[in-house]
Structure 1
Amino acid sequence: MSIRPWVVVEAPDGRGLRRVTVGGENAGSAWSLRELRRMLDRLGYPDVDVEDAASVCWRGGDSGTWPDRAWRRYATIVLMTVGLLASAVLNGVIGWPDASGALTFAQRITGALLVLSGLAQVAAAISVLDYWGRRQSRISGAIVLLGVLISLAIDSLLLLMWLEEREYTRYMLAFMPLWCWSVWAIFVLVREKSWRGVPQPKRFAAGVFASALLTALSLAYSTMYQPTVAPMRFSLKAEFGKAREDRGQPFLQVPLKLSVKNTGEVSVYVIIDDFTVYGRTAKYSEQGTSVEKEWKKGLDEDREDEAERHIDQIAFSSISSGRFYRPGTVLESGQEDTREHVFQIPMNVKYDLLHVDLQIVYMRKDRGRIDVKKFRKPHPSWKKKEGRSYCRRNCPEELVYFGAVRHNNNLVNVTRKPRHVLATWSPKVAPVYSISSYDFRGKGVDFAEESREVDRFGISTIESSSEVSVAELLRSTSSLRPS
């Protein structure tokens, strides 16, 4: 029988784990005396006297030297695992809407990267059990470190975006605590130098940096560069046709042709549109007055671009009004639509000119998404039920359109309060639109916020107008009469 003990228990490592060899072969590691006894029992030595120096050799301490603080280790495992899984869920919730339904390829890539980062954090959560356990994998610590770095980067980005507006959202209850958790987790992992098991730490660091840079560039491209450089171009026409005399009534039937074409590269949502035909009356004078005087007078009458020497007392009366599209209609790039509209005026009309205005208010589809199903539904303000819900006070008779609108990037949506787009139409007044956090139940519209949101969502108005002489219309009808 050899005088050398056949069970050797090594000194505790930095975590309190003691390596065990039996008969010169590695048998594993133990955190406590109870765990050592279970190990020997599994190996077929249940009756080994651990206090017998002939059987067990203790190095770096005796049978009572077990510095492992199990409660601290278990608490670290729980906190690391819960934090990584919570971050993975948050990244998936934020990234999936863009990954599955974003308009542009760059936005889908951004969403996919967030989803993939969530999967990486799930792998890191699994590696936590090994890193704070037996450490059978050399890279488990590096995987955990990568997952925590991802969480710190994304939560820091969310926090910075939230600080821009400082609005309450339910996601604050997730990314703010997770940011604090990620700072603590980074401190723990740096203190333990969790990257030491990586065979080539420089390549690992380079891979982490490249991934972070790719994510940042993709986000910047999809949210700032691409929506800014894509040009917007439209072709609007409003033209009067040849009038026809009504066979049974002393009226003229005047055709009006309207056409709209999106010649740009970006699809748009139509928020509201309107076309209105006006008849102009004026008092004529052979001597007339100076153009400068008429121009100044026109400024007082909201006619900044009209001044004539031989006419005075210009007035416009609305004859016909309507809409080209339903609110929420998508006008795709390259799409062209036309409409023929016929209106009537009396033969002995006092108008000297007919004027038509066509205008369309649109929102760039690469800047945001409108809940079209709700936005298309009209709410008449004169109906008691609708008016009470969609008009605060002194509401005129009009159709109200109201719906939610989201930014094109879900990272922005989770750091902002919900936005709503509002549009009203009436044949009596020009269309009105608004986009803000206003929802008819809280305070009124914040005009500074509204101005910012109009710019962020790329909302603009395009207009076209045309005029025709009534004398020309009458002459065209007289030439058609039989002699």
Structure 2
Amino acid sequence: MSIRPWVVVEAPDSRGLRRVTRGSETVGSAWSSGDLRRILRHLDFPDDIDLDDPAFISWRGGDSDTWPDRPWRRRATLALMTAGLLASLVLSALVGWPDAAGALTFAQRMTGVLFVLSGLVQGLAAAAALDYWGSRRFRGSGAVVLLGVLIALATDSLLLFMWLEEMEPTPYLLMFLPLWCWSVWALVVLVRDDCWQGVPRPKRFAAGVVVTALLTGVSLAYSTMYQPAAAPMHLSLKAKFGTARSDRGAPFVHVPLSLHMKNTGGIPVYITNDIYTVRGKGATYSEIHGNQDMLREWRRSAGRGNALGDVERYADRLTRTVISSSHVYGPGKWLEVGQEYTVERVFQIPRDAPFGTVAVTMQVSYMRKDRGKLDVDQFKNPHYTWRTNEEGYYCPWQSCGQQLVYGGRVRHNNNLINVTRKPRFVWATWSPGRQPYASVSSLAHWNKTVSEQEVKRELDRYGAASIRAEAEVPVAELLSSAGL
């Protein structure tokens, strides 16, 4: 009859932890002889038991003096691994939550949800790290930590790659650049430790990680590239003169004007600037013979300020006089899909007006609402360049004229762009009778200069465009409809 010891202390694992069993049951794990004595005390062994007595304890892979654990190194690794995973959780939440909670499109919201879920996995991995560098009671704790580190490496690599495209200063760089270095270190540590050994089917685990990464990549590509371009953007404008009426008390004719706009595209749009201008067109009429004479008259007219390119055989010295000009809808407002807006205006012209025709020009600048979120509360309030108390906006009229300035922060609906770029702003300037201007750039002050290349790139990025409509009517027709 053989005598078996009550307790078996197994050989140290890669970290120096030794598993303690009694019979077929694992009763604990020990880093040191002190840990072993605590386990034995729970098994009702005396405190002064001889650890080298083979009647009670059997040692495998070393004796009672074999304790290769390096507690400070292990605890430092645990602290760095846990801190990195928790920081990655915070970064994933900062990137994903704005899209998950407020993105306009379903695809962009799903991208935000993926980042939030990735953060939750990293939080679970931080908890698993405590077990993996501890007693390892959960067999898959190492695999969970590896999954969290791989997610962090993929996220930080994506952010770093996007930042390298333009390398603009952003406070998030101080977060994802150190985390990228940490994730590379953490991956090396886990691979060297063969952390996936506790997984029952490591091949399936690896396949699941690859599939998850592919789905995430496809979702990001769809939300950032295909989906924003798939929805068409189109705005229709219409301007129409009404029936004129004479003024009995004054030598004027009142002319109704109807201005109409409608979002006929597939996405909502912000109005960043708009204007309508009514001009009276005058000319000196003469008989011109031959194309060369016509071109000579056109050059003469263009030299006097007619730079619009009109060429008329019998009209010379074309002039345009601004009669009325104002906003149509107003900067900072938006049109939902299918929404339309109509405004009725009335302007006056003298009965003996020296105009041959009256023309209206209507122009609207707009941007896609699914690309960015404009701070409309800030943008819709105009600033006056001629007011000296408008700090940051005052400009002498000799240099800037007299303009209204609209400005506000715009955030891209894909928050990956927001965290890897400097803030972007929409600026619009307006003055009656002039060409309205709207731009998107990184400038925080409107009176600074920026390259045309940057403005064009940002206008394309946020899907900005403009549309124009014109209508013209003879003054003789207006006077006839007024009974004159």
Q: 1:17-45, CA deviations, whole angstroms, 9 ceiling, x for partnerless residues?
A: 12223467532221101111111122211
Give the distance between the partners of 2:52 and 2:138, measured in 1 at CA.
33
- Counterpart of 1:364? 368
Q: 1:464 to 1:441 in 2, by over 3 A?
A: closer
Report SS of the residue matched to 2:400. coil
SS in 1 for 2:238: strand
Q: Which residue of 1 aligns with 2:463?
A: 458
SS of structure 2 residue aligned to 1:157 = helix
Partner of 2:323: 319
- AA at the equivalent of 2:387: K
> Residue in 1 aligned with 2:16?
16
Residue 298 of structure 1: how far off its partner (Å): 5.7
Q: CA distance change for structure 1 residues 3 and 408 in 2, over 3 Å: closer, same or farther?
A: closer
Q: Classify the secondary structure of the residue corresponding to 2:389.
A: helix
1:416 aligns with 2:424: no
Q: Which moved more, 1:58-67 or 1:347-356?
A: 58-67
Secondary structure in structure 2 of the residue aligned to 1:384? coil
Kept in 1: contact 2:407–2:446 (CA 8 A): no
Unaligned runs of 5+ residues in structure 1 are none
Cα 1:121/1:385, change in 2 over 3 Å: same
Deviation by residue 1:226-251 (Cα, 9 ceiling, x = unmatched): 11122222221111111111010011
- Contact 2:300–2:317 (CA<8 Å) still a contact in 1? no
Contact 1:113–1:215, Cα closer than 8 Å, also in 2: yes
Q: State the Cα deviation string for residues 205-224 of structure 1 (Å, max 9, x = none).
A: 22111211111111111111
Whole-angstrom distance in 2 between the partners of 1:122 and 1:296: 73
CA distance in 2 between counterparts of 1:362 and 1:26 reads 69
Aligned-pair CA distance for 1:186: 0.7
Conserved in 1, the CA contact under 8 Å of 2:386 and 2:395?
Answer: no
Alpha-carbon distance in 1 for matches of 2:480, 2:56? 124
Please name the residue that 1:151 is paired with: 152
Q: CA deviation at 1:292?
A: 3.6
Question: What amino acid does structure 2 have at the position aligned with 1:359?
Answer: Q
**What residue number does 1:470 align with?**
475
Matched ranges for 1:271-420 at <5 A: 271-287=272-288, 290=291, 291-297=294-300, 300=303, 301-386=305-390, 388-391=391-394, 394-420=399-425
Query: Could you report, residue by residue, the CA deviation over 1:289-325 in whole angstroms, capped at 9, with x for unpaired residues?
Result: 6344445556654545421111100010101001111
Structure 2 counterpart of 1:420, one-letter code: F
Alignment root-mean-square deviation, CA: 1.9
- SS of the aligned residue for 2:373 comes to strand
The answer (yes or no) to whether the contact 1:223–1:408 under 8 Å persists in 2 is no
Return 39-48 or 75-84, whichever deviates more.
39-48
In the alignment, is the contact (CA less than 8 A) between 2:387 and 2:394 conserved in 1? Answer: no
Q: CA deviation at 1:194?
A: 1.2
1:444 aligns with 449
2:237 maps to what in 1? 236
Structure 1 residue ranges (4+ consecutive) displaced by more than 6 angstroms after TM superposition: none
What letter is aligned with 2:333? Answer: T
2: CA distance between counterparts of 1:181 and 1:302?
65
Q: Does the aligned pair in 2 maintain the 1:436–1:446 contact within 8 Å?
A: no
Q: Aligned equivalents of 1:207 and 1:294: distance in 2?
A: 76
The answer as to whether partners of 1:6 and 1:24 remain within 8 angstroms in 2 is: no
Give the fraction of aligned pairs with identical amino acids, expressed as a percent. Answer: 58
The correspondence of residues 163-174 of structure 1 with structure 2, limited to 5 A, is 163-174=164-175
The amino acid of 1:122's aligned partner reads G
Give the TM-score normalised by structure 1: 0.94
Please give the alpha-carbon distance, in whole angstroms, between the structure 2 residues aligned to 1:395 and 1:229.
40
> Which residues in structure 2 correspond to 1:90-239 (within 5 Å)?
90-239=91-240
CA separation in 1, counterparts of 2:447 and 2:96?
30
**Partner SS state of residue 29, structure 2:** strand
- Give me the whole-angstrom Cα distance separating, in 1, the residues matched to 2:449 and 2:83: 41
Residues 206, 58 of structure 1: alpha-carbon distance in 2 compared, 3 angstrom cutoff = closer
Alpha-carbon offset, residue 433 of structure 1: 1.7
The SS at the match of 2:392 is helix
Residues 306-353 of structure 1 deviation map (CA, whole Å, 9 limit, x = unaligned): 211111000101010011112110111111111111001111111111
For residues 449 and 218 of structure 2, the distance between their equivalents in structure 1, rounded to whole angstroms, comes to 38
User: Distance between the aligned counterparts of 2:20 and 2:483, measured in 1?
Assistant: 114
2:28 partner amino acid: G
CA contact (8 A) 1:97 1:410 kept: yes
Q: Report SS of the residue matched to 1:377.
A: coil
Counterparts of 2:202 and 2:300, CA distance in 1: 78
Q: 1:218 to 1:324 in 2, by over 3 A?
A: same
Structure 1 residue 6: Cα displacement: 3.3
CA contact (8 A) 1:9 1:57 kept: yes
| Alpha-carbon separation, structure 2, partners of 1:28 and 1:414 | 46
**Partner of residue 76, structure 1:** 77
1:442–1:41 distance in 2 versus 1, CA, 3 Å: farther
* Equivalenced residues, count: 478
Cα 1:108/1:298, change in 2 over 3 Å = farther
My pick for the range that moved more, 400-409 or 424-433, is 424-433
CA distance in 2, matches of 1:302, 1:211: 62
| CA drift at 1:181 | 0.5
Find the aligned partners of 2:129 and 2:210 in 1 and give their Cα distance.
22
Inter-partner Cα distance in structure 2 for 1:333 and 1:442 = 34
When residues 328 and 25 of structure 1 are mapped into structure 2, their CA distance, relative to the original with a 3 A threshold, is closer
- In the alignment, the residues of structure 1 paired with residue 28 and residue 466 of structure 2 have an alpha-carbon distance, to the nearest angstrom, of 74
| 8 Å contact kept, 1:298–1:307 | no
Partner of 1:42: 42
Per the normalisation by structure 2, the TM-score is: 0.94
